[in-house]
Amino acid sequence: MNWSSIIKFSVFHFVAITLVSTLTTLLIGADNLVKQSSIDSLFYFQAPSALVGLVVLSFYARVQKSQALLHLTVAVVISDILGFVILSALMGKLYFAPTWAIDLFITAFPNSGNKCTTHG
């Protein structure tokens, strides 16, 4: 396992997802996100983050020479743990998002269908 690559892409994945989420919140407004229906929230907030995550992970899969799916899975798990730890530290308590099951599915879904081929 290429741990330096995994850590690098985990941090990059986390930063990319955080930037997209922050931009979405700034553009739509935090108050508007709370007032939206579940479908609108999924479309306007979760979908852009999932697409950016898919792009980052697809790029990682292309540069990974072996065991791409394993490396992608570990990178996503580390990224999610990093997000959980940082958010919990900022809130001063352990915080599980009310939509954690949906977030987990959206995070895992793009990875489950990847047909990772090695180039080289």
55: left (phi over 0), alpha (psi -120 to 50) or beta: alpha
6 is written with which tokens?
């995994």
Q: Is the pLDDT of residue 108 over 50?
A: yes
Closest CA to 5 of 70, 96, 83: 70
Place of tokens 């290429």: 2
pLDDT in tens, 41-96: 777 777 888 888 888 888 888 888 788 888 888 888 888 888 888 888 887 877 67
**Contact present, 16 and 76 (Cβ < 8 Å):** no
Q: Name the percent of the chain lying above pLDDT 70.
A: 72
Place of tokens 């081929």: 117
